[in-house]
Amino acid sequence: MAHPLLTLSGMFHSSRSALQRYKTRRGGSPAPVRHTTNWPLMGLLALVPLAVFLVARHAPAPGLDAGALTYELDLAEAPAGRLGVTMIAEGDLPGSLDLALPDGAFVARGSGARILGVQARALTEAGESAGELAVVRRNDGWRLATEGARRIGISYQVSLQAASGLETDIRKHITAPVNGGVRAAGYQIFLQPRNMDTSSLALAIFNPLDLTFMAPWPALVPGAPTNLAAVSDADLAPGMGYLPAPGGPAAGAPSSHAPTAVPVPTNLLFHPRDLQDMNNSLLVCGDLATAVTSARGTVIQLATDRRWAFTLDQAQDLVARIARTEIAFFGNAPTDQITVLLAANDVTAGGGFDAYGLHTGSSVLVMLEAATTAAQLRENAASVIAHEMFHGWLGEAIPQVDPQTLWFTEGMTTWFAARMLTAGGVWTPSHSRQVLRDRLQRNYAASALLGRMSVARAASQVMADPDQVRFAYAGGVAASMALDRWLATESGMMRPLDQVLRVLYDRHRGRPLTRANLVAVIGEVTGVDADAWLDEHVYGTEALPPLEDLL
């Protein structure tokens, strides 16, 4: 391990270079971005055959003028498991600026990422250093003395380490080194102001090693407009999952959608919409193989850092089938890009799962057993991909905030994943029914919790023991199917919950899913009041109809 002083010295040199690059980028004004008072949706964590969803919220301090934030992510030491981050904050800054990573149940302290050596300096209008600022370490982050400053630069290093295979907390496996680089969840690497609202935001990538880099947002690349407001005219590099510019591919980009990754330009400038986008992202760089296609204007990209028993073309065909089917169900995608990352499942302790899935922003991370075959990818892992991708609509666009509605978010997503795989021709109807039957029988009907704990209560306790997690999400599937059957009987509609989902997405997008909102939309669509039924079967322990009646 390098001596700490040497490490910090290198970091400070990197941050000075970042400030120089920041000065050269000035001249175009960052695009205005929307702001939300909620902390980001942290992610959707799926344990096969079930999923865990956790979320946190944050409201900025009132009365402060919005400021501009520019981040730079330095990938120079990514192959060694280190990232450099420099942040420029400018505007009417508070007298002291509080920086921290997001709070919430999803953030596992002591996970694979450590923040080291936070340093701050005041900057002149020209971007020159105007002196060091005092930085005080606090229990929940760092406090900077910024009285009188209009522009400041903050630098720090993120050190990554691989979690032990005996560590079963999947949260600690998300941000980790990968082959030739790193995989990083935004909420574990980007310090953000707690007491400053944000009016504009940009993220620059310094990539001197020409590592393959993937992010959930479109990027401005050489030849594109320097004004971030003109994002619709940006060149986007094909081969990295980006759409080509109207005039042809960007310099250095491949002429076809070859499955082999190509280096991205040394410098990229991204435009996340807000801090929620920053946190709710999964970034990856290294020795990646990539493939890309599109559906209804949405880029569908796949990446992996290893060879599998199946080909990249087979995996991309599966991912594209799932994405196109789910987009078709809702009519469009909630994001411009859907990214799927395939990684090895490093959890070796007893009691683990064969595959794990994580949904964060428009990115899906799927951790599979290294020996997964093409047949196993379609028969088993496909449900993880379909489940996590579906959360882009139910969970993100229809935000999951209230733990009391997790039964619906996870139950509906698991049920619809099987239906989407059937509709897309990935699974046969008989295979889909058998998978659902086996899961419901094993994890719901045969559970010791049946009749003792409500499905809603079990699902709301997101970090419960594995048996409760299995019961919660299998119970959510059973409750969703039973509710759909009951509503169909009461209303005369076929598949009424299909229309409920579409109305939630079309007319209530961005509105947090609550029981009251769900009941109201069910009433709007079917004319049926579902409150009493939910009290008995979901929030109470009244038995649901026999499983065979639901399948």
Cβ–Cβ under 8 Å, residues 456 and 542? no
Cβ–Cβ under 8 Å, residues 342 and 356? no
- Between helices 312-330 and 496-507, what is the axis angle to 10°? 90
Give mean pLDDT, residues 207-222.
77
Using CA atoms, how far apart are residues 101 and 95, in angstroms rounded to an integer?
20
Q: What is the pLDDT of residue 274?
A: 85
Using CA atoms, how far apart are residues 342 and 132, in angstroms rounded to an integer?
43
Question: pLDDT tens-digit profile of 478-534?
Answer: 999 999 999 999 999 999 999 999 999 999 999 999 999 999 999 999 999 999 999
Burial 115-141 (b: 16+ CB within 10 A, else e): bebbbbbbbeeebeebeebebeeeeeb
Other CB atoms within 10 Å distance of the CB of residue 52: 24
Q: What is the pLDDT of residue 110?
A: 56
Give mean pLDDT, residues 406-420.
96
Q: Minimum mean pLDDT among 18-32, 55-69, 245-259: which range?
A: 245-259
Asked whether residue 549 carries a pLDDT value surpassing 80, the answer given is no
The most confident of 14-28, 70-84, 159-173, 230-244, by mean pLDDT: 70-84
Q: For residue 226, name the pLDDT band (cuts at 50, 70, 90).
A: very low
Q: What is the pLDDT of residue 22?
A: 62
Cβ–Cβ under 8 Å, residues 205 and 222? no
Q: Minimum mean pLDDT among 143-157, 246-260, 434-448, 454-468: which range?
A: 246-260
Q: Residue 524 is inside which H or E element, if any?
A: helix 515-526
Query: What strand order describes the sheet that includes 181-185?
Result: 176-178, 181-185, 282-286, 212-214
Q: Minimum mean pLDDT among 166-180, 365-379, 399-413: which range?
A: 166-180
Query: C-alpha angle 27/29/33, rounded to 5°?
Result: 160
Q: What is the pLDDT of residue 433?
A: 93
Q: What is the pLDDT of residue 109?
A: 55
Q: What is the pLDDT of residue 192?
A: 92
Q: What is the pLDDT of residue 541?
A: 93
Structure tokens at 145: 């003395």
Q: Residue 151 is inside which H or E element, if any?
A: strand 151-160
What backbone torsions phi and psi does residue 78 show, to the nearest 5 degrees? -60, -40
Question: pLDDT tens-digit profile of 72-122?
Answer: 999 999 999 999 999 999 988 899 999 998 765 445 555 678 899 999 999
Omega of the bond prior to 466 within 30 degrees of 0, cis?
no
pTM of the model: 0.80
Structure tokens at 422: 């059937």
Q: For residue 220, name the pLDDT band (cuts at 50, 70, 90).
A: low
Q: Which residue has the higher pLDDT, 299 or 41?
A: 299
- C-alpha 46: how far from its chain's center? 12
> Which residues touch 504 (CB under 8 Å, ≥6 apart)?
394, 398, 513, 517, 518, 521
Q: What is the pLDDT of residue 103?
A: 67
Write the DSSP string, 426-493: SS-HHHHHHHHHHHHIIIIIT-TTTTTS-HHHHHH-TT--HHHHHHHHHHHHHHHHHHHHHHHHHH--
Asked whether residue 379 carries a pLDDT value surpassing 50, the answer given is yes
Question: pLDDT tens-digit profile of 122-165?
Answer: 988 877 888 999 999 998 899 999 988 889 999 999 999 877 77
Q: Which residue has the higher pLDDT, 251 or 76?
A: 76
Give mean pLDDT, residues 405-411.
96
Domains of the chain with bracketed CATH: 398-550 (1.10.390.10)
pLDDT above 70: percentage of residues in the chain: 76
